[in-house]
Amino acid sequence: MTRFSRSLLALAVAVPLAFASQAEAAPERYRIDSEHMAIGFLVQHIGYASTLGQFREAEGGFTFDEQARTLTDLKVSIKTASVYTAHEKRDEHLRKADFLNVAKYPEMTFVMTRAEPTGARTGKVTGDLTLLGVTKPVTLDVTWNKSGEYPFGGGVLGKPNYVTGISARGSFKRSDFGMDYGVADGLVGDDIQLIIELEAIRQ
């Protein structure tokens, strides 16, 4: 085979490979959209019913490979003073030392440590939850709802944003983090049920 023939053969192989590499999806960074986010919780109140609350201020992001369906580098920071249960006096109490102690601990964080798939669009994400200065592992059941171009404006240079939406559920005992108020006498439940719904914008 001549040098020219070998060069043509190499080019014939390299060009398709180059296009294939460009076509493959790559991990993309996403920022949580604070305007389309709900971080909620349920906790028993004297055993009669559960109180529904939420945190209205949070930020964070993650890296997601849509083709490989892998999630990495997830971190969320929540402003504890943003707690809201539609009851002003209760919210004031939640911000005090009996509960969130927001003056001393203005943020709680969740930092992912591992993830594993459980289905085509579901998985378990385990991470370190830091609350009241205590860090404990918490596992979330996560569902990947949808990824695609957003149907409304807001993107760069007039282009629509590319958005991924997820739902997550989990639970933990608040006493594990030193939040003991009302546990012994049953006034406030120990188990916290997490409800997370969010959209994230590809950067």
List pLDDT tens digits, range 43-99.
999 999 999 999 999 999 999 999 999 999 999 999 999 999 999 999 999 999 999
Domain-located, residue 4: no
Domain-located, residue 10: no
**Residue 54 neighbours by CB distance under 10 Å:** 16
Q: Look at the chain and count its residues.
A: 203
The CATH code of the domain that includes 198 is 2.40.128.110
Is the pLDDT assigned to residue 9 strictly greater than 90? no
Domain-located, residue 18: no
- The pLDDT > 70 percentage for the chain reads 87
**Residue 123 neighbours by CB distance under 10 Å:** 20
Quote the mean pLDDT of the chain: 90
Domain-located, residue 5: no
Report how many domains make up the chain: 1
pLDDT tier, 25 (very low <50, low <70, confident <90, very high otherwise): low
Please list, in sequence order, all residues whose beta carbon lies within 8 angstroms of the beta carbon of residue 81, skipping any fewer than 6 positions away: 57, 95, 100, 102, 106
Domain that holds residue 138: 25-202
Domain-located, residue 102: yes
Domain-located, residue 15: no
Domain-located, residue 11: no
User: Taking the alpha carbons of 174, 180, 184, 188 in that order, is the dihedral positive or negative?
Assistant: negative
Domain-located, residue 17: no
Beta bridge partners of 115: 125
Q: Are 192 and 170 in contact (CB under 8 A)?
A: no
What is the rounded average pLDDT of the residues 168-190?
98
pTM of full prediction above 0.95: no
